[in-house]
C-alpha cells in the first residue's frame, strides 16, 4: 500500500469515539450485586450498583499496579482489587489500603457520567471531557408511564465487526427497504436539526403490516429510537424500537436492539403478551436482515449515488460533528434541514 494512503486511512479511522450518550442496556441488569466488565471506547470500564441501587461506571484498572478491578469483588459497596485488595468506592476513589493508613491522593479512578432514562442505563462520552450541552439528552418516552403499553424492551445484544457509521448510514437509505425487507418505500424524508437526525418512512410490509409509518431519530451519534405503527391482521399495532450502539474499537461495536409494544384494548394481559412477543420477533427478524448486511459489507467513503438514494453525504456531515471538538462544529449544522427523497403519490 502507498505509505501516504496508509497514513490517511489511519488518520481517518483514528480511535476518537463519538461525543454523546450511549446505551448500556437495561439499568436493572446492573443491580445484581455483581461487577460488570465493559470493553468500550477502546478501553475497559467497570459498572456496579451500590446497595441503594445507584449505578456507577468507573475506569476498570487499578491506579496501583494496573490490575483489572472488574475481576475483583464487590464488598460493602466497595470494589476490592484482586491484586492487593485496595478498595474503591462508587466515586472511583480509593478509600482503603489494607497495609497502609495513608492513601495516595492520586489513587482515584475516573467516574463516568451516566443517566437512567426509560429504564435504560446511558453513559456519556466526550473526548474533551465536557458535560453535555444544554438540551443534549435522551428523551423520556411517556409510553413508559402508560398502562396501555407493555414495558419490556426484549433487548438483544451482539457485536458487529465494522465501523459504527455503517449502521448510522441506514437513517438516510431510502431504497434498501424493498430489496432487504420487502417493504418498498412510498414516502421518505430526513430532518437534520442540531444533534438530532430524523427519518420519516411510509411503506407496506408483509411481516410488520400495511400502511406502515416509522418515525425515528438519532439523538446524537449512537441512540436511535423509532415509533412505528402498522395495520397487522386487521389491527393497528403501535411499537417503539430501540437501536443503539457503543463502540468497542474504531471497527467494532456492541449493538443493542429492543422493542416494546402497545396493548390491544379489550385483550387480556396474556393475549397481549403473546401478541407482543410475536411482533417483537417479527421486528427482530426484519432488523437482523440489516445486521447481516452490515456484518459483511465494506466501508465506502465516497459512494457513487443515484437519484433517489437519500442524503448520504448530508448525513455523514451531520454525523461528523460528534468526532470534532464542539468549538469546531460548523454553525450550519445547528440549522434545521429537511430533505424529501421519495414523495407520496
Q: Same structural domain for residues 306 and 170? A: yes
Confirm whether 6 is domain-assigned: no
Look at residue 8 in the predicted model and tell me its pLDDT.
44
Look at residue 4 in the predicted model and tell me its pLDDT.
42
Q: Same structural domain for residues 293 and 167? A: yes
183 within 8 A of 208, measured Cβ to Cβ: yes
Look at residue 345 in the predicted model and tell me its pLDDT.
60
Q: Same structural domain for residues 228 and 174? A: yes
Confirm whether 301 is domain-assigned: yes
Q: What is the CATH number of the domain that holds 72?
A: 2.102.10.10
Strand ranges for the chain from DSSP E: 20-26, 36-40, 43-49, 55-59, 73-75, 78-80, 87-88, 94-96, 114-117, 120-125, 149-150, 156-160, 185-193, 196-205, 209-219, 223-232, 235-249, 252-262, 337-342
Look at residue 32 in the predicted model and tell me its pLDDT.
97
Confirm whether 86 is domain-assigned: yes
Domain of 330 in residue numbering reads as 146-342
Instruction: Tell me the sheet residues that pair with 93.
Output: 108
Look at residue 3 in the predicted model and tell me its pLDDT.
42
Confirm whether 131 is domain-assigned: no
Q: Same structural domain for residues 162 and 263? A: yes
Confirm whether 32 is domain-assigned: yes
Q: Same structural domain for residues 155 and 198? A: yes
Domain C-terminal end among 70, 95, 125:
125
| Ranges under pLDDT 50 in the chain | 1-13
Q: Same structural domain for residues 103 and 150? A: no
Strand ranges for 97-222 from DSSP E: 114-117, 120-125, 149-150, 156-160, 185-193, 196-205, 209-219
Look at residue 14 in the predicted model and tell me its pLDDT.
55
Q: Same structural domain for residues 169 and 31? A: no
Distance of CA 246 to the CA centre of its chain: 6
Confirm whether 166 is domain-assigned: yes
139-148: burial string, b at 16+ Cβ within 10 Å, e else: eebebeeeee
Q: Same structural domain for residues 159 and 260? A: yes
Q: Same structural domain for residues 302 and 219? A: yes
CA distance 267 to 275: 10
Q: What is the CATH number of the domain that holds 255?
A: 3.90.380.10
Q: Same structural domain for residues 318 and 170? A: yes
Q: Same structural domain for residues 40 and 185? A: no
Tally of domains within the chain: 2
Which pTM does this prediction carry?
Answer: 0.92
Look at residue 63 in the predicted model and tell me its pLDDT.
93
Confirm whether 298 is domain-assigned: yes
Confirm whether 293 is domain-assigned: yes
Amino acid at each position: 500500500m502507498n505509505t501516504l494512503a496508509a497514513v490517511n486511512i489511519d488518520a481517518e479511522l483514528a480511535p476518537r469515539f463519538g461525543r454523546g450518550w450511549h446505551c448500556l442496556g437495561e439499568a436493572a441488569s446492573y443491580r445484581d450485586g455483581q461487577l460488570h466488565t465493559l470493553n468500550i471506547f477502546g478501553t475497559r470500564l467497570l459498572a456496579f450498583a451500590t446497595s441503594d441501587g445507584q449505578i456507577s461506571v468507573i475506569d476498570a484498572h487499578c491506579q496501583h499496579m494496573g490490575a483489572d478491578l472488574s475481576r475483583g469483588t464487590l464488598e460493602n459497596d466497595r470494589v476490592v482489587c484482586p491484586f492487593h485488595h485496595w478498595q474503591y468506592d462508587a466515586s472511583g476513589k480509593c478509600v482503603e489500603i489494607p497495609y497502609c493508613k495513608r492513601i495516595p491522593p492520586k489513587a482515584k479512578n475516573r467516574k463516568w457520567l451516566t443517566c437512567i432514562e426509560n429504564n435504560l442505563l446511558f453513559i456519556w462520552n466526550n473526548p474533551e471531557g465536557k458535560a453535555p450541552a444544554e438540551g443534549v439528552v435522551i428523551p423520556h418516552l411517556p409510553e413508559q408511564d402508560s398502562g396501555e403499553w407493555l414495558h419490556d424492551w426484549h433487548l438483544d445484544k451482539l457485536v458487529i465487526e465494522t465501523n459504527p457509521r455503517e449502521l448510522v448510514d441506514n437513517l438516510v437509505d431510502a431504497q434498501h427497504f424493498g430489496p432487504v425487507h420487502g417493504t418498498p418505500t412510498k414516502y421518505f424524508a430526513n430532518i437534520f436539526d442540531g444533534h438530532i437526525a430524523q427519518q420519516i418512512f411510509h411503506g407496506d410490509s408483509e411481516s410488520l403490516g400495511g400502511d406502515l409509518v416509522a418515525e425515528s431519530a438519532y439523538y446524537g451519534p449512537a441512540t436511535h429510537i423509532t415509533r412505528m405503527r402498522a395495520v397487522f391482521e386487521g389491527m393497528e399495532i403501535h411499537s417503539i424500537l430501540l437501536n443503539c450502539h457503543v463502540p468497542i474499537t474504531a471497527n467494532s461495536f456492541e449493538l443493542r436492539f429492543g422493542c416494546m409494544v402497545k396493548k390491544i384494548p379489550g385483550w387480556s394481559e396474556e393475549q397481549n403478551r403473546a401478541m407482543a412477543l410475536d411482533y417483537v420477533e417479527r421486528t427482530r427478524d426484519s432488523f437482523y436482515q440489516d445486521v447481516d448486511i452490515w456484518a459483511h459489507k465494506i466501508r465506502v467513503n465516497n459512494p457513487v449515488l443515484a437519484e433517489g438514494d437519500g442524503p448520504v453525504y448530508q448525513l455523514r456531515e451531520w454525523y461528523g460533528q460528534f468526532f470534532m471538538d464542539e468549538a469546531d462544529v460548523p454553525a450550519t449544522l445547528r440549522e434545521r434541514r429537511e430533505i424529501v427523497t421519495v414523495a407520496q403519490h
